[in-house]
Amino acid sequence: MPTFHERREETIEILSIVPTQGPGGIIAPSCTAAISLAVDEINSGTGILGREIRLTTIDGGRPPHEVATEIEAFLATGMVGAITGWHTSAVRRAVARAAAGRVPYLYATDHEGLPDERPGVLLVGEHPDHQTVPAAAWMARELGVRRWAVIGNDYIWPRQTAHALRRALPAPADIVLERYVPLGTTDFHAFLDEPALLFADAVLVLMVGADTARFNRQFTATGLPTVLPRLSPAVDENVLLSAGPKANDNLYVASGFFLDDHTADGRDRRARYRRHQGSFAPALTTFSNSAYEAVHLLGALADTVGTLDVETLSARLADGITLDGPTTRHGFTGNQAVGPAYLARADGVDFDIIDKLP
């Protein structure tokens, strides 16, 4: 009788969407390596539903319609079991339309949480009301921040996150400056030279990867970090490293996926990653950790419910479900994964976790 690893025809094809170009491209090597660890951990056991995972990586750094077209072609074969992704919300919404609820689609980064999400889309990252908004409230309480300036890339997630912050502030006018720039922007002086910036107490940065790193370097050159803290829910260690230690002064980051080396779980996951990928592998970061968790959540969800059928999964998720597995997300309420969120302050090219967010 063939062994589990010999039954290659009995596999589950998972499409993994990760940007390998554009501003999110600096995150791709870490995400791909972390996903590889998750796949090997699952395949070293019983796989998903007793079947081995086979992974195909899709470049999510292209225009959304191009990514969606490629996903549609794969789905047309009838051989795809699930999709996972770390990429922009603009890509997610295009892919979700193409997938049309045919397979579960675990989205591994922050989202805007609109009520019109397509069937089968499971949100592993956080809604702004559970991450950015409580982080801003912490800064108001602890740092006296009242007025905000916002800069973001020009697509749905930054705009909706800023809208969530505006709803939560005492007065809408407490956002004194709000600007959106194209993905791949290299010059932020129009924002940095805006007189209204001087009336802000803090800056909310809602940009992707390399764009955030470039902005932080230019922001630091103005001398503003000494008096104007920044908050972002979209920074990982790769972004810190790309910007350089000096550009990260007075930068606060909210996330549910920090790897805390002060805990046994955090140390153990880093050790497993190093054994699997070697000493010169890309760093295991906040973003790649979320991609790792998405794959494990997919496995735990499928094995708990007994299927990857979207209609059956949705029925079980409607009432909430608790899952076992090596993740900080311990289940789902509806299509939203449930787990803690934290606030950290950048310390050079690493993070110092300073509080748990309510």
Q: How far, rounded to the nearest angstrom, does the alpha carbon of residue 115 sit from its chain's CA centroid?
A: 19
Using one digit for the tens of pLDDT, what is the confidence trace for 16-64? 999 999 999 999 999 999 999 999 999 999 999 999 999 999 999 999 9
Token pair 């990760």 in the structure block, residue? 18
Residue type, 49: L
CA quadruple 49, 297, 273, 358: dihedral, nearest 10: -160
C-alpha closest to that of 284 among 300, 339, 275: 275
How distant, in Å, are the alpha carbons of 121, 233, 253, 273 from that of 345?
Answer: 31, 12, 6, 24
pLDDT for 9 equals 55
Per-residue pLDDT at 338 exceeds 90: yes
Mean pLDDT taken over the chain: 94
Q: Where does the pLDDT of residue 4 fall: very low under 50, low under 70, confident under 90, or very high at 90 and above?
A: very low
Using one digit for the tens of pLDDT, what is the confidence trace for 185-194? 999 999 999 9
Per-residue pLDDT at 293 exceeds 90: yes
Query: What SS3 string covers the chain?
Result: CCCHHHCCCCEEEEEEEECCCCHHHHHHHHHHHHHHHHHHHHHCCCCECCEEEEEEEEECCCCHHHHHHHHHHHHCCCCEEEEEECCCHHHHHHHHHHHCCCCCEEECCCCCCCCCCCCCEEECCCCHHHCHHHHHHHHHHHHCCCCEEEEEECCHHHHHHHHHHHHHCCCHHHEEEEEEECCCCCCCHHHHCCHHHHHCCEEEEECCHHHHHHHHHHHHHCCHHHCCCEEECCCCHHHHHHHCHHHHCCEEEEECCCCCCCCHHHHHHHHHHHHHHCCCCCCCCHHHHHHHHHHHHHHHHHHHHCCCCHHHHHHHHCCCEECCCCCCCCEEECCEEECCEEEEEEECCEEEEEEEEC
pLDDT for 87 equals 97
Enter the pTM of the model.
0.94
Widest distance between CA atoms in the chain: 74
Per-residue pLDDT at 289 exceeds 50: yes
Q: How far apart are CA 231 and CA 125, in angstroms?
A: 17
Using one digit for the tens of pLDDT, what is the confidence trace for 128-162? 999 999 999 999 999 999 999 999 999 999 999 99
Per-residue pLDDT at 305 exceeds 70: yes
Using one digit for the tens of pLDDT, what is the confidence trace for 198-240? 999 999 999 999 999 999 999 999 999 899 999 999 999 999 9
Using one digit for the tens of pLDDT, what is the confidence trace for 58-95? 999 999 999 999 999 999 999 999 999 999 999 999 99
- Percent share of the chain, pLDDT over 90: 89
C-alpha closest to that of 284 among 60, 89, 38: 38
Q: Provide φ and ψ at 44, rounded to 5°.
A: -75, -15
pLDDT for 114 equals 83
Q: What are the tokens at 195? A: 């007189």
